[in-house]
Structures are given as structure tokens and as C-alpha cells.
Amino acid sequence: MATYKAPLREIDFVLNDVLKVEQLSKLPGFEDATPDTLLGLIEEAAKLIEDKIAPLNAPGDAQGCTIKDGVVTVPDGLAEAYKLYWQAGWVSLCNPTEYNGQGLPFTLSKVVDELLCSGNVAFALYPGLTMGCFEAIHATASDEIKNTYLPKLGNGEWTGTMCITEPHAGSDVGAAKTKATPNGDGSYSIEGGKIFITSGEHEMAENIIHFVLARLPDSPPGVKGLSTFVVPKYLVNKDGSLGARNKLKAMNIEHKMGINASCTCVMQFDGAQGWMVGAPNTGIQNMFVMMNLARILVGLQGLGQCELATQNAIRYAQDRKQGKAPNGKEQIIEHADVRRMLLQMKATTEGARVLAYETGLYVDIAHKHPDAAVREEAQDWVDLNTPLVKSFCTDSAFDLGSMAIQVYGGHGFITEHGVEQIARDSKILCLYEGTNGIQAMDLVRRKLMMNGGRLPQRFFAKVREALKTAGAEFAYISKPLAAAVDDLEATTKWVQQSYKSTPDDASFGCVDFQRAFCLTYLGYNWLRMAQAAAQHKDAGFRQAKHATALFFAQRMLSQVSALLANVRNPAAELMQLDAANF
């Protein structure tokens, strides 16, 4: 079975030595969020997750969810663990205090998300979707609706869903057909089917609040004709008590490759009573409020799985004896090829952690900083980083899950060792909340183009500023990073131009472009980590960070130029290949 120990020293290093998290406590409303308080809370979360939630990961995967007569049963122990989790206040960490939240920084909740998603990523989806639903209602609904639903969503007592996908409407959300007909009393009658709905039905909470994308009778076609509705499983009376069961049910649950403890439901709305939130036909904007933060959360899910794969592979390789390395030692960690894999896992996970936490910090600054110009810049970073965090952390989770199996050899393929579950659980992260191909399109088509190309310019400027302060002892990374950033900037200009004239070229290369951008960002992270680690009091920590930074500079950053050369290759001839002749 895979085991999990929260990487507290690493988290402390990233938050304090690299990202200077003390800046959070200078933001209005976060005065109490000092580094010591944050680390104390992270330690507490780690204990609960290691002791109570991670042990349910393998058994939950084996048992899975079941459905009978529309009632979904989750694996043993999950309901009790969920109750413990929300009652201890972990769901409500960064929610506003007026809705039973604790008003703590988003950054802190992302660190806790990482821990939870290492311990049990399937479990993490129950609070994760609840928070997404909370955010969407909070951003769009009237006070009456907020007061009805948010106090119990805000503390996690009720859970939430996001009902977007239909059989013919996946990436193309605008194809959704679910109908919303006015009832004449301010409510709407929701009719239609949704598929793949995470946490759509279960008995872990006394009510489930569905956030549903549907179409008004007179709405225009496509995304411009979608509206959003709050549709509770049980209607809520004026005094807050629960009323009748609403007309919706789970018709089935999906049988999946992974995250088997998370119920993925086929939902049918048969004239269910719902209430519109936001203005008519603004559903896509309302959904994006939730989706943007949800994409960062999915990135954290990926990071959690990267960490789980990496720490288990390292422990196994330190212990397993096989053959003799040239130094005479027998543990497989002494073999150069195993070492290559472990260093790639460490370089990826630790570099991705800085990207993910930094994005969390920018979310807090964008919400709270008193200076509008600083808020605007922070929001630019959030916008730019969202597809990077989502795609890089999740692609890496699947890759590192596979690499962990490779490190274990044939034993990795055997269920009992638990690392094959990481690969199975991680694949979905590359698919939902917009596939990673859709993230790349978002990066190329929107984020590079927004505000006259201001977003990537901020990144290039920041990296060049960091390069200026890098002393000669960091030339092993600063030199390849300088080359990567020059190449990335030139290719960014090429993409910005070519998207207008030959959109297929830009689209063909967008996944390679996204990866090159992420690797360059990780180069920037590794430069900062190498500099900060050089001051660290622990010699072992210093040595490990230096070796991992060197590995990243020599063997991962070097991939940027090949990826960017791919991006600039014309695609016209490839696009002419007839679909039937593939």
C-alpha cells in the first residue's frame, strides 16, 4: 500500500524561504495569518489526513461506490471521515466569515488541498466541488439565495456539485440542452440529463446543492444562451429546515479507471425546482467564476499525486536491493537510471509546488491588496498561471505515477503496492475542468492575447529581474534559463502573430508551447529555490536541492528549445491529411 507523510519541511521552505509568505499577514483581513499560524494549521491538517483519511485511500479504491434505486453508497469510512473533516473546519478555511467560513488565505487552503489530495484524491473531490459550488453562488447570487444556501455549504455540512456536462456537450459547453422554464413564482423548472457529475448523489450530507447550467426557452443558441441555476436535492423552507425531495435523481454511476471512491453520477432533472443566479444568459461567465478557481484546485490535486508518487518511489528505492551498483551498494537508488527517475520526480514535484503555491498567493493579493495596480498585476498572474498549474501539475501526476511504477519494477504493477493506483487516479485530472488540450488553447488564444499581450510580458520581466541577481555560483541554471526565456519570448511573439494569420499552426503547437512555458516557469522556480537553499542550515537539504536544481537545469530545462522548435513548425500540410486516410 502507498503510504503518505506530509512533506512539512519542504512546504515550510517554499512558503517561507522562497515565496516569503509573511507578505500575506500584511494584507487587510489577514493580520492573523502569520507564518507560524499557517504552519501550525498545516501541521494539524497533516495529522488528520495522515491518520484518518489517507488510510481510506486504497480500501476506498477497491470497494468503490454502488447505486441501488437511486441511492448511492460510498466506501466504508468515507462518510465518517467527511464529517470529521468538515466539523474540524477544514472545508471552510478560506470562506468568508459571514457564511461560516474562517476567512483565512486561499494560499493556506491550497496547501491543505495538496495534503488532502496526496492522502486521498477521491475523497478530496467531495469538499472540492462543495467549495466550487460555494464560490459560484457567492459570486453571482442574490442575498436571499446566498443566505439560504451558503451557511451550510460554507462549512461543508451540505455538499455541492457542478452540473455542466451532457452526453453531446463536453468541451463544447455551448451545446448543452437542459431546459429551464419559468414557473411564474420566481423559480424555474429544470428538465434534462447531465452526465459525469461528481458527488451528484450520496448520503454523506443531509442536502446536496447542484449548480446547473441550463437554457431558457427564448435564449440564443451556443454559450450565449446559457444561464445558471441553484437546484437543491431537498427544497429548503423559509426557516432553513429541509422540505420536500426535489424532482431529480441519480440514474446511474460511472465505472471508472480511478478515483473509485468518488461517485460520478448520471443525473436526471425531471422538472426539478431551481432558482436562477446571475442575469439571464450569463451562465458561462458565472460558471467561469467557479471554473477558474476549480482549475487551480485540480492543479493541486495533481501536485498531491506527484508528491505521493515521488515519496513512495524514493522510500522503495532506498530499501529495495537488487544487483550491485559500481559503488558496491545494492539498494536500487544507487543505480544511475533509478536515480535519474527519482531526480526527475523530485525536480518536477518541488518545482510544481512553487508554481501552485505562488498562484495561490496571487489569488490572495488580487483579492485583498489595498493598491489597485498591485491587484491588477496579481490578477494577470492568476489568469496566466491557471492553465499552467492545471496542465503541468496534472500531466506530471500521470507521468510520475507511471514513473513510480517503473521504479518499483514488476512490483509496481501489482495492486498491493499501491503505486498503480496513483497512475489510475491521476489520469482524470488531465481531463476534467477542461482537458489539458483545452488549457493550452486557453493559454494561446486568450492569455497570450489579453490586454495587448501584457500577461506573458510580466513573466519575462520577472524572470529577467531574477536572473540579474543570480551570482556566478548559479550560472549552471541561470544561463540555460536566460536562453529559455529568450526563446520563449520570441516564440510567444510568433504565436501571437501566427494565431491571427494561420490559426492551425498556433493550435497545432499549443500543447508543446504550454509545456515549454511551464518548464521555463519551473526554471525560474528552481533558480529561486537554489538561491534560497544555499542559505539553509541543513547540509543534507542544501545538497539535495543543489543536485535537483542541477538535474532540472541540465535535463529538463534543455527540453524547452526542442518544444519551441516544434511550435514554430508549420502545420498546414498535416491539417490537409484527410480524416478518412489516417
Ligand X SMILES: Cc1cc2nc3c(=O)[nH]c(=O)nc-3n(C[C@H](O)[C@H](O)[C@H](O)COP(=O)(O)OP(=O)(O)OC[C@H]3O[C@@H](n4cnc5c(N)ncnc54)[C@H](O)[C@@H]3O)c2cc1C
Q: Which residues are annotated as catalytic?
A: 433
Least distance (Å) from ligand X to the CB of residue 284?
Answer: 13
Least distance (Å) from ligand X to the CB of residue 8?
Answer: 31
Nearer to ligand X, 367 or 427 (CB): 427
| Backbone Cα Rg of the chain | 24
Contacting range for ligand X; rule: CB under 6 A; set: 60-68, 135-143, 195-203, 358-366: 195-203
Q: Does 233 bind ligand X (CB under 6 A)?
A: no
Least distance (Å) from ligand X to the CB of residue 250?
Answer: 13
Nearer to ligand X, 166 or 380 (CB): 166
Q: Does 165 bind ligand X (CB under 6 A)?
A: yes
Q: Given the C-alpha cell 486568450, which residue does it identify?
A: 446
| H-helix segments, 141-262 | 143-154
Residues 307, 118: Cα–Cα separation, whole Å: 7
Nearer to ligand X, 430 or 455 (CB): 430
Contacting range for ligand X; rule: CB under 6 A; set: 68-76, 79-87, 392-400, 435-443: 435-443
Q: Are 263 and 253 in contact (CB under 8 A)?
A: yes
DSSP designation for 160:
E
Q: Are 354 and 391 in contact (CB under 8 A)?
A: no
Cross-strand partners of 73: 66
Nearer to ligand X, 126 or 432 (CB): 432
Least distance (Å) from ligand X to the CB of residue 66?
Answer: 16
Using the CB atoms, write b or e for 175-194: b if 16+ within 10 Å. Answer: ebebbbeeeeeebbbbbbeb
Nearest Cα neighbor of 549 from 405, 373, 354 is 354
Footprint (CB under 6 A) of ligand X, residues 461-500: none
Interface with ligand X (CB under 6 A), residue from 79, 139, 145, 431: 431
Count of residues that interact with ligand X, criterion CB under 6 A:
20
Nearer to ligand X, 276 or 430 (CB): 430
Spacing of C-alpha 316 from chain mean position:
27
Q: Does 159 bind ligand X (CB under 6 A)?
A: no
Least distance (Å) from ligand X to the CB of residue 271?
Answer: 20
Interface with ligand X (CB under 6 A), residue from 171, 318, 322, 497: 171
What angle do the packed helices 283-319 and 372-408 form, to 10 degrees? 40
Nearer to ligand X, 389 or 441 (CB): 441
Spacing of C-alpha 159 from chain mean position:
19
Footprint (CB under 6 A) of ligand X, residues 250-309: 256, 264
At 261, list the grid cell. 471512491
- 374: Cβ contacts below 8 Å, ≥ 6 apart: 365
Contacting range for ligand X; rule: CB under 6 A; set: 98-106, 136-144, 238-246, 436-444: 436-444
Interface with ligand X (CB under 6 A), residue from 164, 248, 352, 516: 164
Residues 557, 485: Cα–Cα separation, whole Å: 10
Residues 307, 345: Cα–Cα separation, whole Å: 8
Interface with ligand X (CB under 6 A), residue from 196, 398, 513, 551: 196
Q: Does 174 bind ligand X (CB under 6 A)?
A: no
Least distance (Å) from ligand X to the CB of residue 456?
Answer: 21
Residues 266, 471: Cα–Cα separation, whole Å: 57
Least distance (Å) from ligand X to the CB of residue 441?
Answer: 6
Nearer to ligand X, 295 or 335 (CB): 295
Interface with ligand X (CB under 6 A), residue from 11, 65, 117, 162: 162
Q: Which residue is nearest to ligand X (CB)?
A: 170
For the chain, how far is it from start to end, CA to CA, in angstroms?
42
Nearer to ligand X, 115 or 197 (CB): 197
Q: How many CB atoms lie within 10 A of CB 274?
A: 25
Least distance (Å) from ligand X to the CB of residue 514?
Answer: 12
Residues 284, 362: Cα–Cα separation, whole Å: 24
Phi-psi region of 259 (alpha: psi -120 to 50; beta: other; left: phi over 0): left
Cross-strand partners of 3: none
Binding site for ligand X (CB under 6 A): 161-165, 170-171, 196-198, 256, 264, 428, 431-432, 434-435, 437-438, 441
